């Protein structure tokens, strides 16, 4: 009788249940979880916002302004963006290394930087500097518009930190469940 059956009969939590799964499972789980998080963030734009502020999200007129997410709709996209891209990055990085932690910290820093760029004291000078250095480029103009029209919200900074911590916890839990087999 294998250890899985012995643990199940004894009523103990089986160790490394998931370690019997193929090696690609870690990548699949992290990618799927990232897609779910990204889908939740997209749902906020579709259901709670008018869409005019999101260049890559089409307006869904039938749902726009439905306010399904209430006050959480203000910061949830930042949380899910940090969470999703941390998970996507971790999927591409080796397990049991410090790199997934650095990916979580990096995506947190990116989201915090973009939020700080919308702060009233920084948004106009930052937008002007972007236009001055690369104003002929459409992407630079779009980024400058993002900063100049954006609304700073300290809760978005908290959400970015929370998204990175949630991603780190998810990655650690998954790697623990997958066990030693995925250490390389």
Instruction: HSE, CB side, 13 Å, CA atoms: give it for residue 67.
Output: 2
**pLDDT of 120 strictly over 70:** yes
**Assigned domain for 5 exists:** no
Number of domains in the chain: 1
pLDDT for res 68: 73
Can you give the residue range of the structural domain that contains 162? 23-117+152-182
**Assigned domain for 83 exists:** yes
Within 8 A by CB and 6+ apart from 143, the residues are 130
**How far is the C-alpha of 100 from the C-alpha of 154, rounded, in Å?**
26
CB 75 within 8 A of CB 156: yes
Q: Is 160 exposed, middle or buried (0-12, 13-18, 19+ CB in 10 A)?
A: buried
Q: Which residue has the higher pLDDT, 6 or 147?
A: 147
- Using pLDDT thresholds of 50, 70 and 90, give the confidence band for residue 66: low
| 4-60: pLDDT as tens digits | 555 555 555 555 444 455 556 899 999 999 999 999 988 887 777 665 555 555 555
**Assigned domain for 140 exists:** no
**Assigned domain for 51 exists:** yes
Q: How far is CA 109 from CA 29, 67, 175, in A?
A: 24, 28, 24
Within 8 A by CB and 6+ apart from 126, the residues are 117, 144, 147
**Assigned domain for 63 exists:** yes
| 75-111: pLDDT as tens digits | 899 999 999 999 999 999 988 789 999 999 999 999 9
**Assigned domain for 44 exists:** yes
CB 181 within 8 A of CB 114: no
Q: Is 132 exposed, middle or buried (0-12, 13-18, 19+ CB in 10 A)?
A: exposed
**Assigned domain for 16 exists:** no
Rg over alpha carbons for the chain, rounded to the nearest Å, is 20
**Assigned domain for 106 exists:** yes
Record the pTM. Answer: 0.76
């Amino acid at each position: 009788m294998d250890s899985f059956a012995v643990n199940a009969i004894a009523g103990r939590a089986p160790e490394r249940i998931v370690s019997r799964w193929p090696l690609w499972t870690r990548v699949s789980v992290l990618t799927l979880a990232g897609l779910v998080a990204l889908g939740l963030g997209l749902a906020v734009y579709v259901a709670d916002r008018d869409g005019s502020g999101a260049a890559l999200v089409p307006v869904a007129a039938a749902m726009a302004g439905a306010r399904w997410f209430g006050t959480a709709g203000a910061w949830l996209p930042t949380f899910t963006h940090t969470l999703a891209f941390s998970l996507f990055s971790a999927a591409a990085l080796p397990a049991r290394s410090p790199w997934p932690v650095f990916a979580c910290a990096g995506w947190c820093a990116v989201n915090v930087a973009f939020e700080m760029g919308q702060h009233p004291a920084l948004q106009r000078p930052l937008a002007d500097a972007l236009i001055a250095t690369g104003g002929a480029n459409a992407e630079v103009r779009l980024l400058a518009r993002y900063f100049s029209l954006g609304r700073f919200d300290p809760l978005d900074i908290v959400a970015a930190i929370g998204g990175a911590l949630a991603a780190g916890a998810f990655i650690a839990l998954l790697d623990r469940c997958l066990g030693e087999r995925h250490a390389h």
